[in-house]
Structure 1
Amino acid sequence: MSDWRPRLIASDMDGTLLRSDDSVSDATVAELDRWRAEGVPFVLATGRPPRWMHNVRTVLGNGTAVCCNGAVLLDLEPMEIIDEAPLEPDALQAITAALREHQPTTWFAVEYGWQFRHEPVYRPRWDVNVPGVAVATLEEMTAAPAAKLLARHGSMDPDAFVELIEAVVGDRATVTHSSTDALAEISAPGVTKATGIGRVADLHGVGPEDVVVFGDMPNDIAAFEWVRDGGGRAVAMAHAHPDLLAVATDVTVGNDEDGVAAFLASL
């Protein structure tokens, strides 16, 4: 595949495109601009909600972002949501009731895209004293469709907690994780970064064989498998989670060494 070149580039943000200080290096911006000038679109594929995309928009300017692990497509230039695949209220209520029964000290938050609600005991790690974030009861949070349900536990082993969530949820939703905490991210059935990137690829007339995707955590696995099985390139960062490394076609250097730019330059 030495002469292979992508027709679409997709990348995770945290731990992948972004350096540890939350910045995108000048070298990475220049490399992405070079590809975009040649007509190759760049897609962000992240667990982040749309309201966390303002800073990266100032760097990249335009393009499409797959947010909330595939549940939301965001047009970066006008900052407008162009497609959604939410969890419906009946599913939210059934899932939270079952999880609370099996592990009573599980606490919940709900991501709506532009808004975030969390139970009083659920302590947000980043969204503190900012607009759009508020405390709510579980009944209030699950009364409207949501892009993503978050389940957190304060003391369980992270992998054991995610396994518990997966077992209880079953096929009622898609469960993934991208944190070192005991935090599970729950989306509508079948919704993953793969489905989100796939929708964008379809808009550009591109198949998985012509896509390169970069990532570092288990919430990238579905996208890696979609690209790998379709003949494209699934590129893990050197520090990536072992489960992601196991399904990668390639490995690049870490995010603080501009691994995305380095791999693209090698093409």
Structure 2
Amino acid sequence: MDQLGFDFGVMPKRLVKVTPAKLATWADCPRRFRMAYLDRPTPPRGGAWAHNTLGAVVHNALKALFDQPVEKRTPEHAVALLHRQWKDEGFRDAEQAAVYRTRAEGWVRDYVERLDTSIEPVGIERWVSTPTQKIVAEGRVDRIDLRDGELVIVDYKTGRHALTVDDARGSQALALYALAARRTLRKPCRRVELHHLPTGTVAVWEHTEESLARHVSRAEEAADELGLASDTLAAGGDPEILFPPRTGNQCTWCDFRRSCPEGQQAAPTLDPWALLAP
């Protein structure tokens, strides 16, 4: 069989499964990656952050809106869905929570008023996946539209700062979602959009094959690094050497701050509502 050019003694290299969240966590801090995805039992996490609660509630309300028949996709019904999804986790008190609930009502109402709610997205919170030469990139997309025969990736944002074209262009998550949606749904996908509800703005980027390839290359490099570190850890490697802390301002809101002395020294402790927009 060797004369035919086959080598049955070499197994193909296992593709590493990654999500944009995993890649971002690795880039942010290898120690945090280890604690989040490898340590068992998982170290205790910190409590809820109000800004994360706010974002989750808005996302869930918009998801629920598209589960409704077209005639019910009104701004008023969207606000009612937000009330149904609302939680006070992470806020200072009920009074503060009420202030931000009112803000979120305005964001959702204004967004739905501008939106063509007669559209039927091809995906809402849709899981998509695609293999590349070295990885399987996968993740859950907020919304996938079909416009003029092409898929469009829509990502809702509720952060305190407006977003730009550069944010859309540079988002590895959106690029990987575009590739994964293309393969999962068998239609072309190049356009990615960041819908920032607090400002009502939409940041748009049209990818080329070259720009998508650059994002894949960076993702594969990171996957090689985290895969090697993970395999070496499983073989008995030193976790402190393989997954060192990467300290900075991000240590302030790290879920595993209580288990990381270096992180505690690097950044001050914040109240759970400190990252809300003023």
**Which TM bucket (shorter chain)?**
under 0.3
Which is richer in strand?
1
Task: Give the TM-score normalised by the residue count of structure 2.
Answer: 0.25
Larger Rg: 2
